[in-house]
Amino acid sequence: MANADTYVASFFGSSRYFLHAQLATWQNWFFTPAVKLTKLGPYDYLSPVVIRVLGGNPGAFTLQGTNTYIIGSGTERIIIDTGEGATGYHDNLLAALKEHHVSSITDILLTHWHPDHTGGVHSIRRTFPAARVWKRARPGGEDQYDRNGPFQNIEDGQCFATSGATLRALFSPGHADDHMSFILEEEGNAFSGDNVLGEGTSVFEDFHQYMASLQRLRDCKPRLIYPSHGPVIEDAMDRVDAYIKHRMDREAQILKAMQDAPGDDFTIREVTAKVYEGYPYFAQLAAAHNTNSQMQKLCKDGKIMLSCEAGLFTGILHLF
Ligand SMILES: [Zn+2]
C-alpha cells in the first residue's frame, strides 16, 4: 500500500497535462507503489517485427511511460506513437534503431492527440525529415495536435505496409475522439493505444463510443495486445472482456447509488463518492471523469436525466 506521500508525489510528479490526458489506471496507481508495476527496459525486442521503446515519462497517468513501437523487419520502418518528448527518449529510440540496423523511419502513426503520445514528433522529424506523420483528424476541425505541424488523416481500415509488417487502422474513439488502434495483420495482434492498458483500466471521454470501440477490438480477436502503456497483454480476449464487464458493473453501481440515496438530486461528485467509496480523494477526482461519461450514457438511454447547473452536472434519477 502506498502511503499518502507516495501517491501525492506520483500524482504531481511528472505530468504537465494531467487532467486532459492520461488519467489512466488510477485504481492501481493510488493503491500500489510504482515498484509493483512490471519493469520494462528502455527498449525491448517483442517479436520479429515489433520493438518497444519507453517514453521516459513514468507517472501517475502514464504507468511506466508511453510506449513507442517500431514496426517491421527492414532498414526502413514505421513507428506508432512518439512519447511526450522526455529527456532520454530520443536517444533510446535511436539506440534501438541502430541496434536493429534501421536507417530511416518512413511513417509515424499516432494513436491520438494526447501530448504523451505526440510530444516526440518534433525531435523524430528533425532526425528523419522525410517521415510522414499520420493521425485521425478530430471532428469539428479543431485539433490541439496542430501546433506539432501537419499530419495526414488516417482512414478507418487504411493499411500501412513496411517490410515484414502490415498495419490496418481501426477507428476506435471513446478515450479520445480521434483514437486509432492498429491491427498487425501478420501476427493477428493489436496495438490498442489507450483503450486497453497493460495494467489497470483506462479513462474515456465518451462512454458509448468507448464501449463500441472495445467491441470492435474484440471482433478482431487479437491474440496479443500491445498497449500504449505497460507490458504486452498476453490474455488479450480475456482482458477486453474484463474491461467490458468492469464498465458494465460500474454502470450498475452508479444506478444503484442513485436509487439508494435519499432524495433525487445528485452531483457527479456525490455519485462518484458512493461508487468509489474508500478510494482516496484524488482517485475519486479521476473517477469522476468516467462517472460523468457513464451518466451521460445513462441519460442517452433514458434511465436518468441530467441537468447542468453552475457548471456542475447534476444527475436526477428518472423513474424507470
Ligand atoms: Zn490518452
Question: How many angstroms separate the alpha carbon of residue 126 from the centre of ligand 1?
Answer: 24
Question: How many angstroms separate the alpha carbon of residue 143 from the centre of ligand 1?
Answer: 14
Question: How many angstroms separate the alpha carbon of residue 114 from the centre of ligand 1?
Answer: 5
Domain residue ranges of the chain, discontinuous segments joined by +: 4-234, 251-317
Tell me the C-alpha to C-alpha distance, in Å, between residue 57 and each of 62, 119, 283.
Answer: 7, 11, 20
Question: How many angstroms separate the alpha carbon of residue 318 from the centre of ligand 1?
Answer: 33
* CATH H superfamily, domain 4-234: Ribonuclease Z/Hydroxyacylglutathione hydrolase-like (3.60.15.10)
Tell me if 77 sits within 8 A of 160, measured CB to CB: no
- Element holding 246 (H helix, E strand): helix 236-260
Query: What does the pLDDT look like over 253-282, one tens digit per residue?
Result: 988 888 776 566 777 888 888 898 888 777
Question: How many angstroms separate the alpha carbon of residue 16 from the centre of ligand 1?
Answer: 13
Record the pTM.
0.83
pLDDT in tens, the chain (320 residues): 222 222 222 222 233 233 333 333 443 344 343 447 889 999 999 999 999 999 988 877 788 899 999 999 999 999 999 999 999 999 999 999 999 999 999 999 999 999 999 999 999 999 999 999 999 999 987 788 888 889 999 999 999 999 999 999 999 999 999 999 999 999 999 999 999 999 888 888 888 899 999 999 999 999 999 999 999 999 999 999 999 999 999 999 988 888 776 566 777 888 888 898 888 777 787 788 888 888 888 888 888 877 765 344 444 443 33
Question: How many angstroms separate the alpha carbon of residue 194 from the centre of ligand 1?
Answer: 5
Question: How many angstroms separate the alpha carbon of residue 109 from the centre of ligand 1?
Answer: 14
Question: How many angstroms separate the alpha carbon of residue 316 from the centre of ligand 1?
Answer: 30
To the nearest 10°, report the CA torsion of 267, 271, 274, 278. Answer: -80
CA dist., res. 168 & res. 178, Å (int)? 16
Query: What does the pLDDT look like over 44-94, one tens digit per residue?
Result: 999 999 999 999 888 777 888 999 999 999 999 999 999 999 999 999 999
Radius of gyration of the chain (CA): 20
User: What is 251-317's CATH topology?
Assistant: Arc Repressor Mutant, subunit A (1.10.10)
